[in-house]
Amino acid sequence: MEKRYLGKDRLEVSAIGLGCMGFTQSYPPFPTEEESIYVLRQAVDMGVTLFDTAEVYGPFKNEELLGKAFAGIRDKVVIATKFGYDLEHYVLDASNRPVSLSSRPESIRHAIEGSLKRLQTDYIDLYYQHRVDPEVPIEDVAGTVKDLIKEGKVRCWGLSEASIQTVRRAHSVCPLTALQSEYSMWYRKAEEGMLDTLEELGIGFVPFSPLGKAALTGRFNKNTKFDKSDFRSTIPRFSPENLEKNIKLAEYVEALARSKETTPARIALAWLLAQKPWIVPIPGTKKVERLRENNGAVNVHFTAEELADIRKHLDSIEIIGDRYPEEQEKMTGL
């Protein structure tokens, strides 16, 4: 597995990380704890070092899972987790997700202690604010995390789903190592100024949902229906009327994969890797065979002419529908 570096402090991570949410949330059926630990250990054996979790995934179950999986091999992994939801008095929405935010200094300190305990570690490699709290100035958040870094509880920090202005304000108080936001052939808002800002400031980028919530894997067609327990059933882009139109992008990626003699997932991930050397996607999977497939994207390369042609095709395909249900979209800082 190739290595990449995030931020000016050059946090070394595998070129492709692993998003761990799906082991406990949003994409049932969920594997058993034993099965999950096996997959996570296999990922380490394959050279994956960056593992992304959050206290809210479960809530709490995901961090507990990683704590058990990495017991005894903590020095081989880079753990990224997140704070920012009110999990002391939380209420869940229809998608089983908390509905209230809290990034008050006392909330952050409460969150870090819980995460450290569940992850069975005394430090977090990369600590993200999960969502921007409109009630707390980002400077206060940055100052609190800066203190946690001084105390040795956090190595590096980042933001998730934040605006360019918020990134700049936070970075001026405590330099950011990474921004995590959605970015893929399926969703390219990051190209509207954010990538340029990150390059200017020397901040790495960790795209989540780099496979478009599996839309770019070749697994779906226009007639695919999602069970009510599947998070995608609530997403406008996956509604029957929108998926019928949006599948054109997936079909293009499949055709490109055939021409390159590889898989659609590898095409989607390799395209992201080709955008910037400081981009590290974190596809999620619960299966070892998918791990192998995703990691193989580091061996797929494009010429400048191919990249230009891909961009031309992406620009010509309109994606219909929002990427989140309305209430969840409101909770992003974009």
Residue 154 belongs to domain with CATH number: 3.20.20.100
The ranges of the chain with pLDDT < 70 are 90-99, 334
The per-residue pLDDT for 290 is 97
Which tokens in the block code for residue 77?
A: 């992994």
* pLDDT value of position 95: 59
Task: State how far the Cα of 164 lies from the Cα of 230, in Å rounded to an integer.
Answer: 31
pLDDT digits (tens, 9 = 90+) for 70-87: 999 999 999 999 999 988
Q: Is the link from the previous residue into 264 a cis peptide, with omega within 30 of 0? A: no
Closest CA to 56 of 328, 275, 333, 243: 328
Q: Which domain holds residue 205?
A: 3-213+276-300
CA-nearest of 274, 213, 279 to 246 is 213
Residue 316, domain member (yes or no) = no
Query: What pLDDT score does 332 carry?
Result: 76
Assess if residue 222 is contained within a domain. no
The predicted pLDDT at position 44 comes to: 98
Active site annotation includes 57: yes
Residue 332 φ/ψ, nearest 5 degrees: -85, 160
Quote the number of domains for the chain.
1
> Residue 78 falls within a domain, yes or no?
yes
| CA 196/CA 175 separation, integer angstroms | 17
Which amino acid, 44?
A: V
Q: How far is CA 103 from CA 126, 137, 203, in A?
A: 17, 9, 22
Note the pLDDT of residue 325: 82
User: Tokens for 233?
Assistant: 């059933």
**Unique residue bearing structure tokens 């200017």:** 200
Distance CA 181, CA 305 (A): 27
Number of other residues whose CB lies within 10 A of the CB of residue 226: 17
In a domain, 163, yes or no: yes
Residue 263 inside a domain? The answer is no
76 assigned to some structural domain: yes
Select which of 27, 57, 128, 187 is catalytic: 57
Domain contains 327: no
> pTM (2 decimals)?
0.95
